[in-house]
Copies of this chain bind each other. A is one copy, B any other.
Amino acid sequence: MEALLDATARVLTREGYDRASTNRIASVAGVSVGSLYQYFPNKEALVAALVARHNREILELARDALKEVASLDLAAAVRAMVRAAVDAHLVDPALHRIFAEQVPRMGQLAKIEDLERETFLLVRSYLEARRKEISIRDLDTATSILVTTVEALTHQFVINKPDAMDGDRDRFIDEVTRLILGYLAPHRTAKPRK
């Protein structure tokens, strides 16, 4: 039931994980608790499904962004990817924050990391294609560092400045791009966009 996931997201962001009871979620969804348990075996599975949906939406964005990136030069490509990361975090920042800060990682919820793995592979294959242009020893290590770094910076940016102006956002993207390019292609100076 899509409505149940919507309700879960609503309750989660409005009340926090601890105060989000299955009864409240069901009533917000306009169904009975019983129905909730017809579709999800327990609360954890419900939250896990919501996480999965959220991640699917974000991955959609990421894939689209990476497609359009193939034709750009490295600097532009990196900037586009960072921008995509920011966009991804803006899908539902409040929900994202709840996932990051309050949802216990255990059992089925280990799946939260699915997104990271998939992102890892996407970025890794991009870097592999550009291998000649970049100076990297170990592809896996580099990918992991990039993914973690961009994710952390973006997360922190969105959390701390939820209503940043476009100017702020562009400046942020510039800085992160510079950081990444300095790592990937240390000999060229990153060219900030005009």
Contacts and interface: CB of A to CB of B under 8 A. Distances in A.
A187 interface: yes
Interface string A158-176: 0000000000000110011
B171 A178 contact: no
Contact of A17 (B104, B152, B178, B183): B104
Nearest to A101: B105
Interface of A: 16-18, 101-102, 104-106, 141-142, 144-145, 148-149, 151-153, 156, 171-172, 175-176, 178-179, 181-183, 186-187, 189-190
A190 B136 CA distance: 13
A179 B102 contact: no
B153 A145 contact: yes
Contacts of A187: 189
B183 A156 contact: no
A105 B172 CA distance: 25
B179 A149 contact: yes
Contact of A141 (B106, B151, B152, B175): B175
Contact of A156 (B106, B148, B175): B148
A102 to B, nearest CB: 5
Contacts of A156: 144, 148
A151 B145 CA distance: 12
